Amino acid sequence: MSWGLPDGQTVCVTAPEKPPVFWLGRQPILDRREQTVAYELLFRSGDAISGRVTDNRMATASVITHAFNELGIESVLGTCRGFINFDADLLLSDTVELLPPERTVVELLETVDITPAIVARCHELRALGFSFALDDVVQLGEHYTPVLPLIDIIKVDVLATPPGDLPAMIARARGLTGAKLLAEKVDSPEQARRCRELGFDLFQGYFFARPAVLEGRRVDPSRQVLVQLLQQVLTSADNRQIEATFKQAPELSYKLMRLVNSIGMGLRFPIASLSHALVFLGQQQLQRWVQLLLFAQRSRGTAQSPLLGMAATRGRLMELLAEKQSGDVAKRDRAFMAGILSLLDVLLETRMEDLIAQISLPGDVRDALLARAGPLGHLLKVVEALEQADSTTLPALLANDDPCRFDDIAWIQVKALAWSNAIAQAARGG
């Protein structure tokens, strides 16, 4: 892991009065109930491609403080905590105190030498309310002993650790400390099941980039979203309000589109947007359909996959990017649909080709979902590069200021994050 600076790349620090352009990636950290409880924040500087090294530590500190001061902690994290990597130099600087202690988990990089000065600094920060994690642990060696009493979370690199060594490492960790154990770089359902069996408390991996969900369970619409929809229909709410509620649940939007296209076979024009679908179905039929879904959910759990939050963020971000390009409302609707459907193959554990064969979609949405092709495909590639904080791909995608200037992408991203965080909080009843 690095401080947001890929190996071999550099950062150029501009004049102090002009903070560096930046964006961020968020990787979710899940508990055993599959709930997102934190994010690891991956910061990237917009000058990482073009400049030469002047001071990596200063650049990273500037990006972090700028992010938290300008973006706002609620927009970035919602109600979750943020894990942030610290090397020795940054840990010993006063940058740490600029972060909110109750929301920040200080990750000690594996390159940090546990010296008396580092231990003393950790004691100071602990007194201020900061939590600590050990990052990329492969062996829990004796050199960690002085700092172990301060550690809240031990992040075990399950890819780099031989599988046969994991039980002994876990037993040693449990015997030495009361810290929670986090399995990081969990990239498949098989790894996830193994880590759960071994007793890990938390999980982190490429769930959003690859077709794997922690338990591989089929995802159903949120019960609270369905209840909210039923209430809106019963009180004759405006279709715009109902459409906004549908946007909280990407898999529910898909089911609605599949329903209306199946009963609308033979129509001269396909039903290609949520607003059109709601008008076509009518509120009476919508009420019956929502009631059926609620009945079918009666005996099922209500835990949501973190993929739902990612899908909602994608949809909103693509909608905002399309809005930046033009005032075409129909294009913005199609951009939202492409974004919110783009993870449906993962959510429903079905090939994307099979899913979209069941609904009528505009050609540009189909091209985006199947091949990342066309204008909407370009937007989707931008969004995916943002999620991964890919400091090589993203600047190239935005080289022609399409769909926006590079300097604007962070603020558009934060708007989408704030919207999806608000949606998630509403879905939890908070």
Q: What is the pLDDT of residue 327?
A: 77
- Whether 297 shows a pLDDT value over 80: the answer reads no
In the chain, what percentage of residues exceed pLDDT 90? 26
Closest to 186 (Cα-Cα) out of 394, 342, 32: 32
Contacts of 262 (CB under 8 A, 6+ apart): 358
Contacts of 117 (CB under 8 A, 6+ apart): 92
Report CA-CA distances (Å) from 345 to 56, 64, 195, 201, 348. 39, 34, 24, 27, 5
Instruction: List the structure tokens of 363.
Output: 């050609």
Overall pTM surpassing 0.85 (yes/no): no
- Whether 16 shows a pLDDT value over 60: the answer reads no
Q: What is the pLDDT of residue 371?
A: 95
CB 356 within 8 A of CB 366: yes
CA distance 190 to 188: 5
Confidence of residue 213 (pLDDT cuts 50, 70, 90): very low
Q: Stretch 165-194: mean pLDDT, rounded? A: 90
Angle among Cα 427, 428, 430 to the nearest 5 degrees reads: 105
**Average per-residue pLDDT in the chain?**
78
Confidence of residue 69 (pLDDT cuts 50, 70, 90): low
Residue 390 vs residue 134, higher pLDDT: 134
**Residue 410: what residue type?**
A
CA distance 326 to 47: 27
CA distance 244 to 234: 16
CA distance 394 to 147: 38
- Whether 62 shows a pLDDT value over 80: the answer reads no
- Beta-bridge mates of residue 81: 38
Report CA-CA distances (Å) from 160 to 70, 166, 186, 263, 403. 37, 10, 11, 52, 39
CA distance 308 to 213: 11
Residue 182 vs residue 309, higher pLDDT: 182
Confidence of residue 211 (pLDDT cuts 50, 70, 90): very low
Residue 312 vs residue 48, higher pLDDT: 312
Confidence of residue 264 (pLDDT cuts 50, 70, 90): low
The domains of the chain, with CATH numbers, are 22-203 (3.20.20.450), 218-430 (1.10.3210.10)
Q: What is the pLDDT of residue 139?
A: 87
**Residue 288: what residue type?**
R
Q: What is the pLDDT of residues 307-331, one digit of tens each?
A: 777 888 898 899 999 999 887 888 8
Q: Is 402 helix (H, G, I), strand (E, B) or coil?
A: coil
The most confident of the ranges 114-128, 285-299, 355-369 is 114-128
- Beta-bridge mates of residue 83: 40, 105
Q: What is the pLDDT of residue 148?
A: 94
- Whether 354 shows a pLDDT value over 50: the answer reads yes
Least confident of 57-71, 166-180, 271-285, 409-423: 57-71
Confidence of residue 4 (pLDDT cuts 50, 70, 90): very low
- Beta-bridge mates of residue 133: 107, 153
Q: In this structure, how many other beta carbons lie within 10 angstroms of the beta carbon of residue 25?
A: 20
CA distance 214 to 191: 9
Q: What is the pLDDT of residue 212?
A: 35
Q: What is the pLDDT of residue 303?
A: 46
Q: What is the pLDDT of residues 222-261, one digit of tens each?
A: 667 777 787 788 788 888 889 888 887 777 888 888 777 7
Q: Stretch 80-85: mean pLDDT, rounded? A: 90
Q: Stretch 38-63: mean pLDDT, rounded? A: 58
- Whether 397 shows a pLDDT value over 60: the answer reads yes
Q: In this structure, how many other beta carbons lie within 10 angstroms of the beta carbon of residue 64?
A: 23
Number of helices (H) and strands (E) in the chain: give both, helices first.
19, 8
Q: What is the pLDDT of residues 19-34, one digit of tens each?
A: 456 667 788 899 988 7
**Residue 404: what residue type?**
C
Report CA-CA distances (Å) from 400 to 178, 324, 403. 52, 14, 8
CB 325 within 8 A of CB 402: yes
Q: What is the pLDDT of residues 112-162, one digit of tens each?
A: 999 999 999 999 999 999 999 999 999 888 999 999 999 999 999 998 999
Q: What is the pLDDT of residues 365-376, one digit of tens each?
A: 999 999 999 999
Alpha helices in 247-351 (DSSP H): 250-263, 274-281, 283-296, 306-325, 329-341, 344-347
DSSP state of 97: G
Sign, Cα dihedral of 158, 33, 213, 430:
negative
Confidence of residue 426 (pLDDT cuts 50, 70, 90): low
Confidence of residue 8 (pLDDT cuts 50, 70, 90): very low
